[in-house]
Amino acid sequence: MKISVVGTGYVGLVTAAVLADLGHQVIGVDHDKSKLDKITAGISPIYEPGLDEILSRTIANGNLTTSTSIAEATKQTEVVFIAVGTPPMADGTPDIRAVKAVAASVAAAIDKPTIVVNKSTVPVGTGDLVEQIILDAGVSPELFTVVSNPEFLREGTAIYDTLNPDRIVLGTSDPGAAEKMKEVYEPLKAEVLVVSRPSAELIKYASNSFLAVKISFINAISRICEKCGGDVEEVSVGMGMDKRIGSQFLKAGLGWGGSCFPKDVQGLTKTGERLGYRFDLLTAADQINNEQTLHFLTRLQSRLGSLQGRTIGLLGLAFKPNTDDIRDAKSLEIIEFLRTNGATVVAHDPVAMPNTRQVHPEICYVDKPADVFSGADAVILVTEWAEFKNLDLATLKKVVGTALLFDGRRLWTREEAESAGWEYYTVGV
Ligand code: UDX
């Protein structure tokens, strides 16, 4: 099938690459020509394991092409995905101006039956808005339909998630469009759920917010554990064995960050406000999340007495492993807290150092994780990259100033750290 994907950010690029790899003829559209040049050279502008290979393959076999023109792409294809960013505005409301602008450009070019698919995470009602924009441009209602098709991929496992979705959600009341969209995804053999457009839009926000609440819940339990002698990891295992609860997204740590959870929790809270419902549960989850890292840092501060003049090593900067994304990463909060309290920060991340350097040029970046330890007064594990697990803690104890390990993600066990001579602190115990 001939498909355009407008926007080559995380969601758009992965969607375009995977659909092309499944055999569709896909045009990836972006106004940023330099991004498209990279893509056509088989180099992903974002760090995502496996993406370069798929880009090279699909560019070489001709299934994936690129264009800076929404009009040209729309004219050549029967399905147009909108996958542009919807960043939060100052008050937390998602900014959907880019979605509206793309809808207007698509509308101006529609000259044959076209399915316009909203893949961007947008507040409920945006599908109606997109439809209205296209109608206002004078396009006959018989010529187009707007489908909501939210994306559930996670950064770092985006290719796997796109190829193996738990479900494909299609929001449409048009049976013909639903059938056509099922054809797009047919090679995946995935379960397809067809619902109304508002329901589809809400499924995305509700799913992400629910997962964020789940993490905040276990982080709240971690605070209770710290006071009562329990261990949150044991509690989490015990809870997760209940099939009704499930074991995923029950890992206590420094809290959730990234490009989706913070934005979507705020977005759904705002949607509630707009519709006259105060979503206190989400406000509380957000508050627990904001307190989680601060609480951990306060423990470090009280252990050291003062952070003034101390050198603190940070292992990991990305908001989670296998990504270079630092949007709403806990590392940023940590760097700000440490700097405000007079500490010197030395950090390492396998891939997120260039991004972090742009916002925090003042801290010291080291090429090897072991160098974070040299002369440090304490080391904080911020992101649980697998390679950090292999660090030789016994050898590193010899180069560190004070052997204080603050493990924010429970990467090591107390036994591992203590037997290597470290004083060990972690979340929820
Ligand atoms: C999330 C959703 O999982 C995905 O379906 C959606 O499309 C986009 O948002 P992503 O933000 O890439 O994906 O990362 P995810 O793996 O979900 O982790 C989000 C945050 O929660 C990270 O900061 C992670 O460290 C944290 N987390 C996750 C926990 O603290 N504990 C857990 O048990 C799981």
Give backbone dihedrals phi and psi of 400, rounded to 5 degrees, phi first: -75, 155
Measured CA to CA in angstroms, residue 205 lies from 120, 190, 232, 268, 422 at distances of: 11, 21, 27, 6, 42
Residue 249 in contact with ligand 1 by CB distance below 6 A: yes
Q: Residue 323 has which token pair? A: 């990504």
Q: How many CB atoms sit inside 10 A of residue 336's CB?
A: 13
Q: What is the pLDDT of residue 92?
A: 84
The answer to whether residue 337 sits within a structural domain is yes
Q: Please tell me whether residues 237 and 157 are part of one structural domain.
A: no
- The CA distance from 86 to 123, in Å, is 10
Q: Please tell me whether residues 272 and 128 are part of one structural domain.
A: no
Residue 427 in contact with ligand 1 by CB distance below 6 A: no
Kindly tell me the burial class for residue 179, based on how many C-beta atoms sit within 10 Å of its own C-beta (0-12, 13-18, 19 or more): exposed
Residue 253 in contact with ligand 1 by CB distance below 6 A: yes
Q: What is the pLDDT of residue 3?
A: 98
- The CA distance from 106 to 114, in Å, is 10
Output the CA 318–ligand 1 centroid distance in Å: 12
Q: By three-state DSSP, how is residue 195 classified?
A: strand
Q: Please tell me whether residues 148 and 226 are part of one structural domain.
A: no
- The CA distance from 125 to 105, in Å, is 20
- The CA distance from 248 to 158, in Å, is 17
**């995946």: which residue's tokens?**
188
Residue 330 in contact with ligand 1 by CB distance below 6 A: no
CATH code of the domain covering residue 286: 3.40.50.720
End-of-domain residue from the set 164, 195, 226: 195
Nearest ligand 1 atom to alpha carbon 261: 9
Q: What is the DSSP letter of 98?
A: H
pLDDT in 10s for each residue of the chain, 429 residues = 999 999 999 999 999 999 999 999 999 999 999 999 999 999 999 999 999 999 999 999 999 999 999 999 999 999 999 999 999 899 988 999 999 999 999 999 999 999 999 999 999 999 999 999 999 999 999 999 999 999 999 999 999 999 999 999 999 999 999 999 999 999 999 999 999 999 999 999 999 999 999 999 999 999 999 999 999 999 999 999 999 999 999 999 999 999 999 999 999 999 999 999 999 999 999 999 999 999 999 999 999 999 999 999 999 999 999 999 999 999 999 999 999 999 999 999 999 999 999 999 999 999 999 999 999 999 999 999 999 999 999 999 999 999 999 999 999 999 999 999 999 999 999
Q: Please tell me whether residues 153 and 244 are part of one structural domain.
A: no
Atom 25 (ligand 1) nearest CA: 320
Q: Percentages helix, strand, coil for the chain, rounded to the nearest 5?
A: 45, 15, 40
- The CA distance from 215 to 229, in Å, is 20
Atom 16 (ligand 1) nearest CA: 154
End-of-domain residue from the set 142, 165, 195: 195
Output the CA 219–ligand 1 centroid distance in Å: 14
Q: What is the pTM of this model?
A: 0.95
**Secondary structure of 408-420 as H, E, C letters:** CCCCCCHHHHHHC
User: How large is the C-alpha radius of gyration of the chain?
Assistant: 23
Question: In sequence order, what E strands does 196-275 have?
Answer: none
Q: How many CB atoms sit inside 10 A of residue 418's CB?
A: 14
Q: Which of 10, 319, 320, 328 to mutate to test the pocket of ligand 1 (most atoms within 8 A of CB)?
A: 320
Nearest ligand 1 atom to alpha carbon 154: 12
Residue 169 in contact with ligand 1 by CB distance below 6 A: no
Output the CA 327–ligand 1 centroid distance in Å: 12
Q: Please tell me whether residues 164 and 230 are part of one structural domain.
A: no
- The CA distance from 87 to 407, in Å, is 31
Region label for 196, one of left (φ > 0), alpha (ψ between -120 and 50) or beta (otherwise): beta
Q: Please tell me whether residues 34 and 137 are part of one structural domain.
A: yes
Q: What is the pLDDT of residue 248?
A: 98
The answer to whether residue 204 sits within a structural domain is no
Number of domains in the chain: 2
Q: Which of 256, 326, 333, 427 to mutate to test the pocket of ligand 1 (most atoms within 8 A of CB)?
A: 256
**């494909």: which residue's tokens?**
168
Q: Please tell me whether residues 365 and 321 are part of one structural domain.
A: yes
Q: Please tell me whether residues 335 and 413 are part of one structural domain.
A: yes
Output the CA 256–ligand 1 centroid distance in Å: 7
Nearest ligand 1 atom to alpha carbon 254: 30
Atom 5 (ligand 1) nearest CA: 152
Residue 261 in contact with ligand 1 by CB distance below 6 A: yes
Q: Please tell me whether residues 156 and 238 are part of one structural domain.
A: no
Q: Please tell me whether residues 224 and 185 are part of one structural domain.
A: no
- The CA distance from 84 to 151, in Å, is 12
Atom 21 (ligand 1) nearest CA: 256
364 is a catalytic site residue:
no
Q: Please tell me whether residues 229 and 191 are part of one structural domain.
A: no
The answer to whether residue 390 sits within a structural domain is yes
The answer to whether residue 206 sits within a structural domain is no
Atom 10 (ligand 1) nearest CA: 154
Dihedral of the alpha carbons of 202, 205, 210, 216, in degrees to the nearest 10: -150
The answer to whether residue 178 sits within a structural domain is yes
Kindly tell me the burial class for residue 61, based on how many C-beta atoms sit within 10 Å of its own C-beta (0-12, 13-18, 19 or more): exposed
The answer to whether residue 212 sits within a structural domain is no
- The CA distance from 30 to 86, in Å, is 15
Q: Please tell me whether residues 189 and 221 are part of one structural domain.
A: no
Q: Residue 258 has which token pair? A: 């990234």
The answer to whether residue 210 sits within a structural domain is no
Q: What is the pLDDT of residue 365?
A: 98
**Residue 169 sits in which domain range?**
2-195
End-of-domain residue from the set 160, 195, 230: 195
Q: What is the pLDDT of residue 122?
A: 94
Amino acid at 85: G
| Number of residues that this document lists for the chain | 429
Output the CA 180–ligand 1 centroid distance in Å: 31
The answer to whether residue 203 sits within a structural domain is no
- The CA distance from 183 to 377, in Å, is 58
Residue 14 in contact with ligand 1 by CB distance below 6 A: no
